[in-house]
Structure 1
Amino acid sequence: MEEQFREEIDEVGRRAARSVELGSRALVIAIAVFVLLVGLVLPWMNGSSGLEVLIGAEAGKASMVPRLFAATSVLFGVVASALTLTTRLWVFAWVGAAGGWFASVDGLLAIWSRQSSDTAPGIGMVIAVVAMVVIATLWFRTAASRN
């Protein structure tokens, strides 16, 4: 009987070590993901939304940097965040943190590439970059807080 309790307690400890407790940070992350989604449907360049840039509707007019940012922001900002919020696993928090920072830098490069060309970045791209920086910061703080 005592051995059974010991195994059960050890299993609970292993499960707790793999999971992350987000608390009120989960709500802030969810709001930031929503803002990112809003940024994806607003105009990014030439009147095209971020989703149109993602699927390649702007292929002839756009450089690859905004398209890469659209893909990485959806992958790390939306998908990784959703996986982490639902599963509460540390590994997804680290994926969101590392990938989020990659997407953030890529977003800044996307804005810069638009500013240095004949097409100015749209409000949606700017909103998406700001939301991605917030998401990456929150995931990094969450992932780094593991004891």
Structure 2
Amino acid sequence: MASLRAEIDAVEHRAVRTVELGGRAVVASVAVFVLIIGHLLPWMGTAAGWEVLLGQGDAAGKAGMVPRLFAATSVLFGIAASALTLITRRWGMAWIAALGGWFASVDGVLAIWTRQSTAGLTSPGPGIGLVISEIAMVVLAVLWFRTAWSRT
């Protein structure tokens, strides 16, 4: 009887640590894919998101600091943490993706704002990839917060 109780407790412990994603898994997967596409499109002038992340081309210098931070946080939390959460379905990873996703979303708004305010008349503002990446990040942040909060 004690071994049966221990087995039931182990199953309960595993169930408490995991989240059931259901249809949210598809939405998260599509949003991660859109975020990846956003990193391939132009963010600053002709520099794509991955070039901004590496500080190459038009992203070199002080003007690219906030977009570079957004590129790093969106890759870390939007792509990596989301992928790990989808794979492991752990409740703790959902919280990491949610909190990091909101940080990246706020940083994305600041990146767009700095591109609009510091670009001036001679250089282009935020590229389409930056805007698409920000929208995907907000979708991911909302999705992971709803998922993580549903377990409390």
* Distance in structure 1 (CA, Å) of the matches to 2:113 and 2:23: 34
- The residue aligned with 2:31 is 32
Name the TM-score, length of structure 2 as normaliser. 0.93
- The residue aligned with 1:121 is 126
Deviation, 1:61, is 6.4
Deviation, 1:59, is 1.7
- The residue aligned with 1:130 is 135
Choose 102-111 or 51-60, whichever is displaced more: 51-60
* Distance in structure 1 (CA, Å) of the matches to 2:127 and 2:40: 11
Unaligned runs of 5+ in 2: none
CA 1:61–1:43: 2 relative to 1, 3 Å: farther
Counterparts of 1:38-117 in structure 2, within 5 Å, are 38-57=37-56, 58-60=59-61, 62-117=63-118
Deviation, 1:63, is 2.7
Matched, 1:10 2:13: no
What is the RMSD of the two structures over their aligned residues, measured on CA atoms?
1.0
Identity of aligned residues (%): 65
Contact 2:52/2:64 (<8 A) preserved: no
The runs of 4+ residues in structure 1 deviating greater than 6 Å are: none
Unaligned runs of 5+ in 1: none
Amino acid at match of 1:77: G
